[in-house]
Amino acid sequence: MTDTPKNATVWIEIPVTDMDKAMQFYEAVTGLPLKRDDTGPNPMAIFQVEDPAEGVAGHLYPGKPAKDGEGPTIHLSAAGSVEDAMERVRAAGGTVISPPIEIPAGRFAYCKDLDGNSIGVFEARG
């Protein structure tokens, strides 16, 4: 491949065991609505982005999450500060794994969702 892509990630899929509960969790944690879509072979809840032609998004789908510590970590934009997002993770029934971690692009914290999927809640540097 000679061309470098605009984004290394083009789509994410997060397996969940209870779509309704997972939608509530991710909407609470990110502070953003998900869009339910039942038109395909499987129901899904799609993360919304400002411009679908430019942004990288993904969805939740009914599936079997990886065993604890064996799946990928998906980092998600979250409204407000990373501390706000961490509190929303706890309030929604998830687990916060790390304190905020500083990186050049901003700050994030490792967490787990209701199914034990590894996620990061991310606050961009402003």
pTM: 0.91
Distance CA 107, CA 126 (A): 11
The structural domains of the chain, with segments of one domain joined by +, span 11-124
Among the listed residues 110, 84, 83, the one whose alpha carbon sits nearest the alpha carbon of residue 97 = 110
pLDDT at 1 over 60: no
Structurally, at CATH architecture level, domain 11-124 sits in: Roll (3.10)
In this structure, what are the phi and psi dihedrals at residue 101, rounded to the nearest 5 degrees?
A: -120, 125
Whole-Å CA distances, 123 to 21, 44, 52, 60, 75? 24, 25, 21, 21, 10
**Whole-number average pLDDT of the chain:** 93
Range 25-29 average pLDDT: 97
Cβ neighbours, 10 Å, residue 120: 18
